[in-house]
Amino acid sequence: MRPVTAVLRRPGGSRRSSKLIAPLCLALVAAACSRADDNLAGGAGPQNTTPAAVQELVVGHNKDPWIDASPGDKKRIPSYPLNADVCETLVKLAPSYEVQPSIASKWEFVGNNTFRFTLKGEPKFSDGQPVTVQDVKYSLDYTLQEPKTSGFEFLGPDSVKVVDDKTVDVTPSRPNLRLVEQINHPTFTVVSAGSDPFKDVMGTKCTGPFKVSEYVPGERLVVVRNDNYWGEKPKLQKITFRFYPDDTTRMLALQNGEVDLVTTLPRAIISSVQGQPGVKLTESPVGAVTLMYVAQREASGTPRVLSDVRLRQAVSHSINQKEYVEGVLAGNAELVETVNPPRVLGSAAEMVKGIPFDPAAAGRLLDEAGWQAGPDGVRAKDGKPLALNIVFPQGQIELTTIEFIQAQLKKVGIVGNIQRLDPGAYRAALDNGTYDLDVSLPNQNDANPAFLMALRWYSKATGKNAKIISPGPNTEFERLVDQTAQATSQEELRRLSGEAMHQLVDVEASAIPLAGISRVLAHKNTVQGLEVHPSGTNQRWSTVFMAKG
């Protein structure tokens, strides 16, 4: 059994290291908790690795991610946020968060803020045609037509230049030495020149081990083996992704045999799923962190109540992270202080201490800020109660998490008003700043340890929400994020990222980490060869095969 290292917070800020029992074993009494190939033991029984005659996999996914998506996201069908292993990028992200070759065999910094990528000779599209530098330029230009697509990469319409028949230069519009660590994101997948996934996903030609066979919006996405794949051929002949927005319906589909695997497993039911006969759980390392984003101002610039750093710190002091992980999530998570997986930061993760659970400290800060407790326990100032609007995206965050936050805030005299929003309403709230706390689950999707900070809290980022939650320009946080773009070594990059995250979490309290989340997939024991990537958007399927039942 692989132990999970965590950091437990104590009132007053002291910390201690602890080895926790593997997450899914916590809820079991006298149950076998052994692992094989990092697969969590369940009711699967002995494993048969003899391939079945028919190699078809049916996957139960949550809501179709492209139904309500923006034009920029619809251009990423079928690669983001659900990655069907159809398209590939110049470089790829390993489960260790290291950059590895993919369509490009090598890359180098050639000066003048420019990276040169050299293509491999082998890659070809699903129609058998070889990948050319013109295809690469078309693909990046196609992606960058959407102004919101490129953020901290600083790429624009003049960034991509063909050098010769094997090499392409990519030049950000601003100094950015992080480009290689960023361009593995599925946003930058390579498609055949002329392909347009937004208008015609069926006609889109990519280089991955699978190709799209059918897409019925809201119902299913079907991919089949790409017999022209340039790498090791996939073992499956066909994968059908069925969309189930409701958690219960999705899990029933697995129990009833309608699907072979489910990709989104609610944390609260993991233990009950584990004991089911014929079902196996496979877990990744931590790849995401459940976070509270704190709105400091509205889109117009008007300050919100949490623009006062004392209130932000009070909110952070009020959350018992240990109780959340061990109680609400039944131990199926890790205690972290960072906004991304600590392993991405290396030893620099220790720079981020976290604001400890301390209701008394929260009370003192609220008193200092002029918010006094009334007879009903609710804090008020100038006759106005201290009420915070908590929003969260439907289908991503469970209501039990939000109710826990609401209860924790109530104990220090803060009213939490809950709003579960559909994708359109959620995006509108984030863009307008009509909320106080946003609870969501961002993934670490590339190899840059400053990725999430630059994407979400950096005031110069392209997203509207960044200006709402950012500590603001001319802050130490902003200065450090600027420097990460120009770090010349991994050690320097991690140090700067750790210092920036310390400012974000410990000083500004602009982000409040709740739990480190690994990806846990539930599947029949006939599903073999599954390798769960900690970043869901980088999940691959070519190693999976169906064994005889």
196 occurs within a structural domain = no
Q: What residues are paired with 511 via a beta bridge?
A: 293
C-alpha separations of 541 from 67, 126, 462, 531 in Å: 23, 17, 32, 8
Number of H helices, E strands in the chain: 15, 25
Say if residue 330 is in the same domain as residue 435.
yes
Task: Give the mean pLDDT of 277-294.
Answer: 94
Report DSSP state, residue 213: E
CA distance 413 to 416: 10
Higher pLDDT, 66 or 71: 66
Q: Identify the CATH number of the domain in which residue 319 sits.
A: 3.10.105.10
- 3-class DSSP state of 497: helix
The pLDDT value given to residue 48: 77
Say if residue 49 is in the same domain as residue 78.
no
Total of domains in the chain: 3
207 occurs within a structural domain = no
498 occurs within a structural domain = yes
Average pLDDT value over all residues in the chain? 89
* Proportion of the chain above pLDDT 90, given as a percent: 78
Model confidence pLDDT, tens digit, residues 380-406: 999 999 999 999 998 788 899 999 999
- 3-class DSSP state of 99: strand
Say if residue 153 is in the same domain as residue 219.
no
Taking the CA atoms of residue 529, residue 532, residue 536 and residue 539 in that order, the dihedral angle to the nearest 10 degrees is: -30
401 occurs within a structural domain = yes
pLDDT at 473 over 90: yes
The pLDDT value given to residue 37: 37
Say if residue 383 is in the same domain as residue 441.
yes
The pLDDT value given to residue 23: 31
Say if residue 330 is in the same domain as residue 452.
yes
Report DSSP state, residue 370: T
Q: Identify the domain containing residue 257 by its residue range.
A: 4-61+212-285+521-546
Residue 118 φ/ψ, nearest 5 degrees: -105, 125
Q: Are 52 and 546 in contact (CB under 8 A)?
A: yes
Q: Identify the CATH number of the domain in which residue 99 sits.
A: 3.90.76.10
The pLDDT value given to residue 4: 32
Task: Give the mean pLDDT of 349-355.
Answer: 97
Q: Are 380 and 374 in contact (CB under 8 A)?
A: yes
Say if residue 270 is in the same domain as residue 302.
no
pLDDT at 156 over 60: yes
Say if residue 403 is in the same domain as residue 319.
yes
205 occurs within a structural domain = no
CA distance 191 to 206: 5
Say if residue 349 is in the same domain as residue 440.
yes
Say if residue 114 is in the same domain as residue 168.
yes
233 occurs within a structural domain = yes
Q: What contacts 470, CB < 8 A, 6 or more positions away?
A: 296, 457, 458, 459, 478, 510
- Read off the tokens for 47: 């494993």
Model confidence pLDDT, tens digit, residues 264-273: 887 767 777 8
pLDDT at 25 over 60: no
DSSP annotation string for 257-286? TS-SEES---GGGHHHHHTSTTEEEEEEEE
Q: Identify the CATH number of the domain in which residue 254 sits.
A: 3.40.190.10
Q: Are 268 and 398 in contact (CB under 8 A)?
A: yes
Residue ending a domain, choose from 155, 188, 221: 188
pLDDT at 12 over 70: no
Q: Are 57 and 84 in contact (CB under 8 A)?
A: no
Say if residue 377 is in the same domain as residue 490.
yes
pLDDT at 15 over 60: no
Q: Are 313 and 296 in contact (CB under 8 A)?
A: no
The pLDDT value given to residue 147: 56
- 3-class DSSP state of 498: helix
Say if residue 309 is in the same domain as residue 222.
no
pLDDT at 16 over 90: no
Model confidence pLDDT, tens digit, residues 76-120: 899 999 999 999 999 999 999 999 999 999 999 999 999 999 999
